[in-house]
Amino acid sequence: MLEKEQMNYTEDNIRSLDWKEHIRLRPGMYIGKLGDGSSPDDGIYVLLKEVIDNCIDEHTMGFGKHIDVDIQGKNITVRDYGRGIPLGKVVDVVSKMNTGAKYDSKAFQKSVGLNGVGTKAVNALSSAFKVTAFRDGKEKTAEFSKGVLIKEFKETTTKEANGTLVVFNPDEEIFKNFKFVQEYLDNQFWNYCYLNAGLVMNLNGKKYLSKNGLLDLLERKTNDDELRYPIIHLKGEDIELAITHENTYGEEYYSFVNGQFTTQGGTHLAAFREGYIKTIREFYKKDYDAADIRGSICAAISVRVQEPIFESQTKTKLGSLNVYDKGPSMRNFIGDFLSRELDNYLHKNPTTAEALKKRIEQNERERKELAGIKKLANERAKKANLHNKKLRDCKFHYNDELSGKDKDHVLEKQKETTIFITEGDSASGSITKSRDVNTQAVFSLRGKPLNCFGLTKKIVYENEEFNLLQHALNIEDGYDGLRYNNIVIATDADVDGMHIRLLIMTFFLQFFPDLVKNQHVYILETPLFRVRNKQETIYCYTETEKQAAIHKLTGKPEITRFKGLGEISPEEFAGFIGNNMRKIPVILEQGDHVQQLLEYYMGKNTPNRQDFIIDNLKVELDLVEE
């Protein structure tokens, strides 16, 4: 029984937190997960986005044609050339909740943030935060630390152009061992430019500019050789669309609301998918299956609405259905636009219409050919799930429904959901014993997977390992059902482990490329060495770290080389897959093309590939075979 003192509930138990204490105590409510920068939705990118969003909103209102950003290590500088914060409100705007111009629809229309939280969260979660407003020949600066005002400067005259300058350092007490991944920054900056044609952004001297909006986005994300027809680009008031089909599996979407990349979609994306199907059926006067119409699609949609309602503070999913006070629902707004503009486009471009029809009918033939095989495979999967222990599941899942007062908590857990794909009983056993059962699942492979490069999707159902894996991920019927935000490949750091890693990545790139393109796939880094004496233990991930550890520890430290994941005890493993987990994102860079990559790495052996292996893997293999 609880002691009587523990059961007391008095005035002393009631505590009020000020705004900065609450943000620092519950950062996930404001910026989603924390992370270390290895995921595109980690907190450091959200902090940067919150500051840039204000600059974008200025540009959207017609003020400021370029934005300069400089990132040096952990120091971030953002300068826009908009109107500048009114000098008398510089401190309030970044430190007083529910304060900002976006509550006044005349000053800001169709902006990203309406709750006045963004820069306050950046301020509270930064060890150092400085804001300077330049306005009509005068400037005003304020400096903060962890949300606390350190110094407020008096107004002075200036020759600087109007605008706002923000300099901040994410607090390393909260964002541990963080670093920015250049590819994620590239995507973030390109998205801003695609959605604001004509805006010039500079990052560390690199220029970003889009003249054709979402058309440029799809051209960057696709390859001309694999497109069935030229990209369809449609624009209207408050809406822009770009659509094409590739020769790949799956569906790929990029959706935006008021310039915000809604990575989890929402009502606007659902309305597009529904309206697209309806328009295609009516144009061709045939009741095609929805999966056949959308199979292999690559599309981008951007809408601008007043006072959007998102499902969380991080604005990754649009939750509002009736977005206009007196206008149509989102469903009708997008549906009507498609039925009018897409229908007109297909009538005016018969060659494109014919190519699209052939793509749909090819999907239809492949689906019918697979129908019998899928039925048998699903029966095998259901039977296997009753008896095998390949999947050790977790409590939360990526697509759990958000509801009620706990939705921010659920969203935070969704972003943490991870499935480790391992090979062998010993490795999966160690991870299973040390994982967080709320958010981490384990799937155990049996032996080396099949090299599926060049094979059809039929093999996914005929191969038991692949079939069970796609069921574990819940992606058989599409990306929408994905059960885990992070898919982490955990193999030994030896030649066999690297080969298995390549084979798993080939499986995803061949049949589910949208998982990689949407940055859900990672490689787990585990330490190669343990260096310890009686006082301290240091885990080292590289030869350089090992030498540094030997130099640091006095005496003659004991050095252990981990040759496989199974050699790492569950107690040790807990530290490698917890808050400080190191994982390498699998990223397709601009210009990378899936089939060309697979042909090069997984196709027939060629002199070029042999040279690549010799040049790039020799050092790593020497380390592995020590």
466-485 pLDDT, tens digit each: 999 999 999 887 777 899 99
Domain boundaries, the chain: 20-208, 214-366, 388-526+564-621, 528-561
The CATH code of domain 214-366 reads 3.30.230.10
End-to-end CA distance of the chain, in Å? 57
For residue 212, name the pLDDT band (cuts at 50, 70, 90): very high
Residue whose structure tokens are 């014919």: 354
Strands (E), 41-121: 66-72, 75-80
For domain 20-208, give the fold. Heat Shock Protein 90 (3.30.565)
Would you say residue 12 has pLDDT above 70?
no
Percent of the chain with pLDDT over 90: 43
Torsion of CA 385, 387, 391, 397, to 10 degrees: 50
Task: Look up residue 312 and give its two tokens.
Answer: 């969380």
Task: Look up residue 544 and give its two tokens.
Answer: 């350089």
Between CA 270 and CA 276, with CA 274 as vertex, the angle to 5 degrees is: 115
- CA-based nearest residue to 337, from 195, 241, 218: 241
Would you say residue 619 has pLDDT above 80?
no
pTM of the model: 0.78
pLDDT at residue 589, as a whole number: 66
From CA 259, how far away is CA 301, in angstroms rounded? 11
Decide if 117 contacts 52 (C-beta within 8 A): no
DSSP string, 421-478: EEESHHHHHHHHHHS-TTTEEEEEE-SPPP--TT--THHHHHSHHHHHHHHHHT-TT-
- In tens, the pLDDT along 30-82 reads 887 888 888 888 899 999 999 998 998 898 888 989 999 999 999 999 999 99
Mapped onto helix, strand or coil, the DSSP state of residue 319 is coil
For residue 214, name the pLDDT band (cuts at 50, 70, 90): very high
Residue whose structure tokens are 């027939």: 604
- In tens, the pLDDT along 144-186 reads 999 999 999 999 999 999 999 999 999 999 998 899 999 999 9
Would you say residue 620 has pLDDT above 60?
no
pLDDT at residue 151, as a whole number: 94
DSSP string, 540-594: ESSHHHHHHHHHHS-S--EEEE--SGGGS-HHHHHHHSSTT-EEEE----TT--H
Does the structural domain 388-526+564-621 have CATH classification 3.40.1190.20?
Answer: no
Task: Look up residue 107 and give its two tokens.
Answer: 């000053």
Percent of the chain with pLDDT over 70: 83
From CA 151, how far away is CA 366, in angstroms rounded? 67
- CA-based nearest residue to 127, from 169, 74, 78, 77: 169
